[in-house]
Amino acid sequence: MSLRSKRVVFEKVFAEFRQDLEKMFNFSGLDRVSGMKMYQLVYDMCTAAPRPHTEKLFNAIADFLNDYTIQIRESILDHDDVVSAYAREWKHYSLAAGYSSMMCEYLNKLLVNGTKDNKSRGMVDKKTTVQGGNYRRQTVQALAYNIWKKQIVYTIKEKNSDRFMRQIFELIRRDRDGEDKVPDIVSDAIMSLVELTEHPLSLYIEEFEKPYLVHTRRYYERESATVIANASISEYMKKASQRLDEEVTRNSKYCHKSSHDTVIKECETQYVAAHQTRIQGEFGAMISNERYEDCTMAYTLLSRIPDGVNPLLEIFERYITNIGNGLIIRMGNSIAKDPREYVEFLLDHHSKYLTVCQKVFVNDAAFVAAVDKAFRTIVNDVTINPVAHSPEVMARYCDVLLKKTHKGGWSEQEVEDKLNRMIILFKYIEDKDVFQKFYSRMLAKRLIYGNSASEEAEANMISRLKNACGVEYTSKLQRMFTDITISADVNKDFAEYVKTNPMNTGVDFSILVLTAGAWPLTQVLTTEFQLPTELEKSVTHFSTFYNSKHSGRRLTWLWHLSKADVKLTYLDKRYEFSVSLHQLGVLLLYNDADTFTFKEIIEHTGLNDQELKRVIKPMIDLAVLIVSTPGTFNDDTEIRLNMEFTNKRNKIKVSSSLQAETQQENDATRKAVDDDRKLYLQAAIVRVMKSRKTLTHQQLIKEVIEQARSRFTPSVPMIKKCIEQLLEKQYISRTNENKDKYIYMA
């Protein structure tokens, strides 16, 4: 290759160059085209002496390309299938333009001052034009693309009824209708608009994307209206899902990636957003009839549009709440008798709809939250069935599981599983302090009467409650267990004390020493029980022993919680009764006589008439004692020992009914809850005021509610009452300037 400048006759040299250019664009005689020769010809024309023919060469190439593209346009329009003809011609033309530009590399450098923008295929945004002013300075490839755009794309649009784009949209319509598959060559035709774009996708957007969106909108607007008018909602959703899937495939094949989201959004608008009210309106029936496949389709479709799922969440939550409330209403008063049906129904109900969330709504956190919200409503709403007071019922359910005497026939593992599941419901309870009171009272009875099925199960349950509510919540429960352990050691020490100090205690007995503040022992008798003389020695000796070990402590004897085993030896068959201490006091009277009046028993035992009736009723029902006037009691009513008593069993538990819950105990527990709440709220108010020093009335109420939320939901009137009490006690006071503002009094 020669690099020296020389004189050239432009017309002669260009004619030779044009011949090779024609062969290249026509894809004929390419074996006779020399790239080196073409490059030399361009170089010679651009470096010709005395004047280079750079701009003249550029204009000549432009004239050639104009003539060539006009011929191509006519050839394309001669075909019925304009799109396929266009795509074939574009494929050849773009290749030829690229190779031609490579042959004209020296010309390109001169025109664009040695710079080349790879992103726009050598196009440089300069206002200066070449000689004649018809063309900007640009690479040959850019020139070729601009001429194609002008002579073919725009001319067909403006002068030939836009046959090219209309055929593309018609082919896509036929594909949507299932008549014909869109040939792959259509993609090449559409993508040519991307390649021809100088500025980012401007030609593609204006010529294809915008009109395509209009066609898509009209097509699916008509189709969706027709389908929803003539098909069931299930069929409509299947069609919508099918159409959206088809559009995803179609777009990935024929559209530039920048169009995918826009086109799919338009489809969603017409097929989902336009008819979302109808889908949402049918969702309740889908859930209630367990048409879970339809539910999944509704969820999937409505998830595509803003706020489309929100009405489904409300319907789902309301449905779960209504199902739960309906069954609780139907259970009626049976909940009070047996808590198992209530709790296990709620657990099964909860498990069912969590599974629905996982399988139907792909474990969407919003639907899981809807389940939580529904169960929080079910568990805390006492208006639908006053008997279904969840904290109390769940405490009784735990009591049933943890007692030795449960009738479920469950294994230890089954009990553990049920308690684990119960904690799920427990977390929904707002009044956790109520559960704590009832649970601690029932735990106390299990420990005192030795009814716990498993110490390990009890400890595990306390651990679960601690994890759910913190250490403070279970501190008293833990203390109760500690007392039982310490009591075992105390009994061992007392046994050693009896051995080393020979004494006659009269009976075998053991003691539980309980910490007063930790045990919820609410039952208090209005009269003093007269301890049987047979037990006085034992009690006296133990008191002496304990006081010698723990000076300063005072023992308060809880006779109503004590129990005893007594043998009946006056019959041919020996019987052993398990009785309460009050029952023992009554039975021991009959060592001295066979008959006593009701008044005499009261005088000997110190029990009031109400308590005595409760104590002797199980023994009358068992026929150990016989009443002279069955069903009525007055001072003269005679109660005699049945000298002909018989029973199939040798060991009989007479005290069972006395250990059962009573309405008085429940009322006392509820009252204790109210009292504790008042103290808790007063303490919370003082803590808040001590920290903040000054607060308005509304701010104080808000912060107190926030502090109490983990234990219970306090009522505003209760908080106001506690504030008034603290004002009276001068822990806080109102400011002189604003009576609605409080200050802390140190």
Q: Which domain holds residue 603?
A: 560-660
- Shared domain for 347 and 299, answered yes or no, is yes
Nearest Cα to 690, choosing from 702, 698, 682? 682
Choose one of 271, 298, 320: the last residue of a domain. Answer: 271
Q: Tell me if residue 210 falls in helix, strand or coil.
A: helix
Nearest Cα to 116, choosing from 84, 140, 88? 140
Burial class (CB in 10 A: 0-12, 13-18, 19+), 503: middle
Give just the sign of the alpha carbon dihedral 676, 679, 682, 686. negative
Q: Tell me if residue 580 falls in helix, strand or coil.
A: strand
- Shared domain for 196 and 149, answered yes or no, is no
The confidence score (pLDDT) of residue 659 equals 65
Kindly state whether residue 541 falls inside one of the protein's structural domains: no
Q: Where residue 306 sits, what CATH number does that domain have?
A: 1.20.1310.10
- Shared domain for 34 and 61, answered yes or no, is yes
- Shared domain for 689 and 616, answered yes or no, is no
Measured from the Cβ of residue 73, the count of other Cβ atoms closer than 10 Å reads: 20
In angstroms, the Cα distances linking 453 to 48, 128, 450, 465 are 111, 98, 9, 19
Q: Taking the chain (746 residues) in consecutive chunks of 10 residues, what is each chunk's mean pLDDT?
A: 81 93 87 87 91 92 95 93 93 94 92 51 54 84 94 92 92 89 86 86 92 94 94 95 93 90 94 94 94 95 94 95 92 87 92 94 95 94 87 91 74 89 91 90 88 88 91 90 90 87 78 87 65 86 87 85 88 88 90 90 88 88 88 86 89 75 76 86 90 89 88 88 89 84 84
Question: 562 near 580, Cβ under 8 Å?
Answer: yes
Long-range contacts: 341-350, Cβ < 8 Å, 24+?
342/388, 342/393, 342/397, 343/393, 343/394, 343/397, 343/422, 343/425, 344/418, 346/375, 346/378, 346/379, 346/425, 347/421, 347/422, 347/424, 347/425, 349/320, 349/323, 349/324, 350/375, 350/424, 350/425
Q: Tell me if residue 737 falls in helix, strand or coil.
A: coil
Kindly state whether residue 508 falls inside one of the protein's structural domains: no
Measured from the Cβ of residue 585, the count of other Cβ atoms closer than 10 Å reads: 25
Residue whose tokens read 């489809």: 267
- Shared domain for 320 and 221, answered yes or no, is no
Question: 597 near 636, Cβ under 8 Å?
Answer: yes
Longest pairwise C-alpha distance within the chain: 154
Q: How far is CA 345 from the centre of its chain?
A: 21
- Give the separation between CA 103 and CA 123, rounded to whole angstroms: 17
Domain count for the chain, please give it: 5
Nearest Cα to 656, choosing from 729, 583, 732? 583
Choose one of 160, 184, 217: the last residue of a domain. Answer: 160
The confidence score (pLDDT) of residue 633 equals 85
- Give the separation between CA 430 and CA 421, rounded to whole angstroms: 18
Contacts of 584 (CB under 8 A, 6+ apart): 532, 564, 566
- Shared domain for 312 and 369, answered yes or no, is yes
pTM listed for this prediction: 0.78
- Shared domain for 591 and 732, answered yes or no, is no
Kindly state whether residue 707 falls inside one of the protein's structural domains: yes
The confidence score (pLDDT) of residue 668 equals 80
Residue whose tokens read 């280079």: 52
Nearest Cα to 176, choosing from 143, 223, 133? 223
- Shared domain for 677 and 637, answered yes or no, is no
Kindly state whether residue 701 falls inside one of the protein's structural domains: yes
- Shared domain for 213 and 347, answered yes or no, is no
Q: Tell me if residue 741 falls in helix, strand or coil.
A: strand
The CA-based dihedral angle spanning residues 599, 604, 605, 607, taken in that order and rounded to the nearest 10 degrees: 30
- Shared domain for 375 and 462, answered yes or no, is yes
Q: Output Rg (C-alpha) for the chain, integer angstroms.
A: 48
